[in-house]
């Protein structure tokens, strides 16, 4: 006779046997799904990675390599000089002037464009007749090509040009300067031109940020008796913090790498003396036109390192809270 244990065991085995294949099937389907996701990720990112490597990382590697040689662009570089090109750059007073000019443009853009853009954006955020026309007008300079703007201002600021004639007609002839030729004035003239060109971008960016400020908060503050200025100071501007920091980051990196506006607007003779040079124009003057390709690559590497370090520091101390908040919000 068969015992009770022997009778129950087949029943248990019969009930458990389908679980194994089902579990194995689910695991196999999960692995196949994971493989499919990885194939999609690889397929979608590979073209972008290849383009990034070919047009960013490889040129950067060549720039670092050629910066270690004295090379005039003909034949393979053979005269290895190590870090000599870098030391020569920091010993050149013209390059130091270019560094100073970049710093002036960076801080001048932040300190001048920022308050102007914030004030205009707050005014244009209010409802009034013709608001759309004013928004369009403040954005027009930004959409104009840099070459067009540079040539236009160069013609306006030449000796006895439109700006000088306007000042004399207003009885302010004493303010007439050699705007693009005076070594002490030219960098401030260029800063004013850059402000006219790029402040519209800051205004539009801040207007986009203002559109995300909830009306309920400003209405509640108004009900509590807050004035318009108090609402802007204690409600609107704090909520604009992330947008303002993003604009500051973009303005800082753009000011460090500024080239076209300076190149077109400035006078070559004045730029060669360093009064209106930036690191980018100095790189082109000494690398391309002087055919000192190794030295020009060294300047390019210095410009990249300065921009990269500035971006890292800005992200570390100012953008970190915004980035962490975005990641946390997305995880939720």
Provide the CATH number for the domain around residue 297: 1.10.3720.10
The span from the CA of 272 to the CA of 50, in Å, is 39
Same domain, 11 and 132: no
Beta bridge partners of 106: none
Predicted confidence at residue 65, as pLDDT, reads 92
Same domain, 238 and 322: yes
Q: What is the DSSP string of 80-148?
A: E-TTHHHHHHHH-HHHHHHHHHHHHHHHHIIIIIHHHHHHHHHHHTS--TTHHHHHHHHHHHHHS-HHH
The span from the CA of 279 to the CA of 307, in Å, is 11
Predicted confidence at residue 88, as pLDDT, reads 94
In the chain, what's the furthest Cα-to-Cα distance?
A: 126
With the C-alpha atoms ordered 28, 29, 35, 38, is the resulting torsion angle positive or negative? negative
Q: Is 176 strand, coil or helix?
A: coil
Residues near 44 by beta carbon (within 8 Å), at least 6 away in sequence: none
Same domain, 61 and 132: no
Neighbour tally for 249: CB within 10 Å: 17
**pLDDT over 50 (residue 327):** no
Q: pLDDT tens digits, residue range 261-318?
A: 999 998 888 888 889 999 999 999 998 888 889 999 999 999 999 999 999 999 888 8
**pLDDT over 50 (residue 52):** yes
Asked if the structure places residue 79 within a domain, the reply is: no
Cα Rg of the chain (Å, integer): 31
The pTM is what?
A: 0.82
Same domain, 36 and 121: no
Reading the block at residue 227, the tokens are 């004035």
Predicted confidence at residue 278, as pLDDT, reads 94
> Mean of the per-residue pLDDT values for the chain?
85
Same domain, 105 and 232: yes
Confidence of residue 131 (pLDDT cuts 50, 70, 90): confident
Predicted confidence at residue 311, as pLDDT, reads 92
Asked if the structure places residue 246 within a domain, the reply is: yes
Same domain, 20 and 92: no
Same domain, 205 and 121: yes
Beta bridge partners of 79: 70
Same domain, 157 and 306: yes
Predicted confidence at residue 22, as pLDDT, reads 64
Range of the domain at 326: 85-331
Confidence of residue 19 (pLDDT cuts 50, 70, 90): low
Give the mean model confidence (pLDDT) for residues 171-194: 89
Asked if the structure places residue 247 within a domain, the reply is: yes
Same domain, 12 and 110: no
Asked if the structure places residue 221 within a domain, the reply is: yes
Residues near 287 by beta carbon (within 8 Å), at least 6 away in sequence: 293, 295, 296, 297, 299, 300
Predicted confidence at residue 228, as pLDDT, reads 82
Structural domains counted in the chain: 2
Q: Mean pLDDT lowest for which of 27-36, 45-54, 159-168, 210-219?
A: 27-36
Mark residue 73 as left, alpha or beta (left: phi above 0; alpha: psi -120 to 50; beta: remaining). left
**pLDDT over 60 (residue 217):** yes
Q: Mean pLDDT lowest for which of 72-76, 147-151, 282-286, 297-301?
A: 72-76
**pLDDT over 80 (residue 330):** no
**pLDDT over 60 (residue 81):** yes
The span from the CA of 294 to the CA of 123, in Å, is 51
Residues of the chain with pLDDT > 90, as a percent, come to 45
Asked if the structure places residue 74 within a domain, the reply is: no
């Amino acid at each position: 006779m068969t015992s009770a244990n022997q009778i129950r065991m087949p029943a248990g085995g019969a009930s458990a046997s389908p679980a194994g294949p089902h579990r194995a099937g689910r695991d196999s389907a999960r692995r196949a799904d994971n493989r499919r996701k990885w194939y999609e990720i690889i397929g979608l990112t590979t073209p972008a990675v290849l383009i990034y490597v070919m047009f960013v990382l490889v040129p950067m590697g060549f720039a670092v390599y050629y910066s270690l040689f004295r090379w005039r662009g003909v034949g393979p570089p053979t005269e290895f000089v190590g870090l000599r090109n870098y030391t020569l750059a920091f010993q050149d007073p013209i390059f130091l002037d270019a560094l100073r000019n970049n710093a002036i443009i960076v801080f001048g853009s932040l300190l001048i464009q920022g308050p102007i853009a914030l004030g205009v954006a707050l005014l244009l955020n209010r409802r009034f007749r013709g608001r759309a026309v004013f928004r369009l007008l403040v954005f027009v300079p930004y959409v104009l090509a840099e070459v067009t703007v540079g040539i236009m201002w160069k013609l306006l600021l030449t000796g006895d040009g439109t700006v000088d004639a306007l000042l004399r007609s207003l009885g302010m002839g004493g303010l007439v300067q050699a705007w693009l030729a005076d070594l002490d004035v030219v960098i401030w003239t260029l800063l004013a031109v850059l402000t006219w060109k790029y402040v519209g971008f800051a205004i539009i960016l801040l207007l986009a940020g203002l559109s995300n400020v909830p009306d309920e908060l400003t209405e509640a503050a108004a009900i509590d008796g807050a004035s318009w200025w108090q609402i802007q100071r204690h409600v609107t501007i704090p909520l604009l913090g992330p947008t303002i920091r993003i604009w500051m980051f973009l303005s800082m990196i753009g000011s460090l790498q500024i080239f076209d506006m300076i190149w077109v607007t400035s006078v070559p003779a004045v730029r060669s003396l360093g009064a209106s040079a930036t690191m980018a124009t100095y790189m082109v003057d000494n690398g391309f036109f002087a055919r000192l390709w190794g030295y020009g690559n060294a300047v390019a590497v210095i410009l990249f390192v300065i921009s990269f370090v500035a971006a890292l520091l800005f992200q570390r101390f100012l953008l970190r809270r915004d980035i962490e908040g975005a990641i946390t919000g997305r995880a939720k």
